[in-house]
Amino acid sequence: MSDKVNILGINVDMAGIEEAADRIMEFFDEDRLHKVYTPNSEIIMSAYKNEEFRNLLNDADLLTADGIGVVYASKILGKPISERAAGFDIACDVLGRITRTPHSLFLFGGKPGVAETAKKKLEEKYIGIHIVGTHNGYFKPEDEQGIADEINRSGADLLFVCLGAPKQEEWIARNADKLRHVRVAMGIGGSLDVFAGTAERAPEFYCKHGLEWFYRLKKEPWRAKRMAALPKFAMTVMLKGRSFRQDQ
Ligand code: UDP
């Protein structure tokens, strides 16, 4: 049995939060950049329909289930993932492990000022963390090389890319070869907003019971259209999911 579940053509690791953080710590010991993505059902659905994006996701070194929809899909397919492993939770676990170590972090993404505030808040929370640079997530294509250069100059070996999906995964894939010191690049969506305090995470009750989507819908009703994709995703997994081989 492989430790991945093939959900509509996307090979999702069956790793929970702690196991994902363990893997990331191992990635630091290997002399190359590792890509970590955490797709939710909406992202998996768009990768199902788009071969190029599907290949890009499958090229990740670690792909965890961010969202209860993906966890349910794994159950439907008979290879249940034990828990939702959201990018934010994995990031917090890794941050806890790299305080007072030589590892260093670059924060990339969010509106102007958000990454700087996140840096300040993280330095207060994780005493001894080395955050060596920040850059906001609103840039022109011609700025891209400059951003990669800035990340290289910082010497960071851990990079949080928070541009939302699929922008962040595409940015990492496009720039991976330019980043000289980064060993782990994680696409973790709106996490900088949560670290900075400009957005709230759902209370634990909602997260524990697989209801974070409901909390976000209450807070951000404009997400309704995006969320309507969830029942369609569940239906597609039920109808087509078993036609994907699980043994590769
Ligand atoms: N963002 C960005 N550049 C862009 C578009 C979005 O930096 O061109 C940031 C945005 O400010 C927000 C994050 O990306 O902080 C996306 O958050 P969202 O909650 O939509 O992403 P999700 O976690 O749902 O993927």
Residue by residue, pLDDT tens for the chain (248 residues) are 459 999 999 999 999 999 999 999 999 999 999 999 999 999 999 999 999 999 999 999 999 999 989 999 999 999 999 999 999 999 999 999 999 999 999 999 999 999 999 999 999 999 999 999 999 999 999 999 999 999 999 999 999 999 999 999 999 999 999 999 999 999 999 999 999 998 878 888 887 777 887 888 888 888 777 777 788 999 999 999 999 988 76
Which of 45, 46, 162, 194 maximizes ligand 1 atoms within 8 Å of its Cβ, making it the mutation to test the pocket?
A: 162
184 CB near ligand 1 (under 6 Å): no
Integer Cα distance of 188 and 20 in angstroms: 14
169 CB near ligand 1 (under 6 Å): no
166 CB near ligand 1 (under 6 Å): no
Question: Length of the chain in residues, anyone?
Answer: 248
Atom of ligand 1 nearest to the CA of 137: 7
Name the closest-CA residue to atom 14, ligand 1. Answer: 163
Atom of ligand 1 nearest to the CA of 40: 25
94 CB near ligand 1 (under 6 Å): no
190 CB near ligand 1 (under 6 Å): yes
105 CB near ligand 1 (under 6 Å): no
Give the ranges where the chain is alpha helix by DSSP (H): 17-27, 41-49, 51-58, 68-76, 87-98, 114-125, 144-154, 167-175, 191-196, 204-208, 212-219, 224-227, 229-240
User: Which three-class secondary structure state does DSSP give residue 7?
Assistant: strand
Integer Cα distance of 148 and 160 in angstroms: 13
162 CB near ligand 1 (under 6 Å): yes
b/e per residue, 87-98, with b = 16+ CB within 10 A? Answer: bbbbbbbbbeeb
